[in-house]
Amino acid sequence: MFSFNKNALNKLKECKIYIENSIRSVKIGNIWRGSKTKQWFDYFETDWALNNLNNEPTNRYDLLARIDHIKKNRIFDIFIVRELIVKIFAWGGMSKRQNTGKTALAFIDRYEDICKDLLNGQTTNISAYKCFFDLHNHKNKDLKMKGVGPAFYTKLIYFLGDHEGLIMDQWTAKSVNMLCNDKIVKLDSSGYVSKRNKETTYIKFIEILKKLQIELTMDSLSETEALIFSTSRKVNRTGLSLDQHLVASEWRHFLIENYK
């Protein structure tokens, strides 16, 4: 059993109220907007092409709607799967560096089958996590998944699965750790989610978010996760006014200032 840190929880409740009162026209999950998908993809000059990309910054619920449309119409060919992977990576703001975005796309064939299984309902969130974990930690360099760590393969799980396998990146992980006064999710020396977090950690992470949803009376798990993900104070990628952006980024600011 665990209990929430009262000071952190009260601050999160305060942030939620401020957002609801100041930014009524935008759902919490849509405050963050990702990179321009076509621009992000074209940077890498892959030897395979995608035709259904545009240069509008993607938001969470538009991307979910696109994925749910594909699920409804049972369209699961390999280029649809790759299109969605690219859109998810661009939404998440994956770096274009050699060891992340470039490598992730160069070795996409090593993990796209797991993504397809998520999309067509052939695997569960937790089974997918275990498959990604095993590939990411594989000892054989010719089989290992490269460029995609827990922060991004949980994004794949969230979007392509049933939307209840939540995103576990540095911001949501640090939020859970602070809210629980415990190192629930292991972080590496750079403060990112460690590749050593097994599926048992992911299960616990989701359970905590479910309890937090109840505590905050949030509409959904997705909105609960989006609230603790928050958004950067340094860079306004929200499309909001300056004052609204300060409100939207307050939890992230609090987390950076107080996380130990």
Pick from 162, 196, 226: which residue ends a domain? Answer: 162
Q: Would you state the pLDDT for residue 113?
A: 97
Would you write out the chain's pLDDT as a tens digit for each of its 260 residues?
679 999 999 999 999 999 999 998 889 999 999 999 999 999 999 999 998 899 988 899 999 999 999 999 998 999 999 999 999 999 999 999 998 999 999 999 999 999 999 999 999 999 999 999 999 999 999 999 999 999 999 999 999 999 999 999 999 999 999 999 999 999 999 999 999 999 999 999 999 999 999 999 999 999 999 999 999 998 887 889 999 999 999 999 999 999 98
Pick from 162, 196, 223: which residue ends a domain? Answer: 162
> Does residue 98 share a domain with residue 83?
yes
The whole-angstrom separation of Cα 150 and Cα 129 is 9
Counted domains in the chain: 2
Pick from 162, 188, 223: which residue ends a domain? Answer: 162
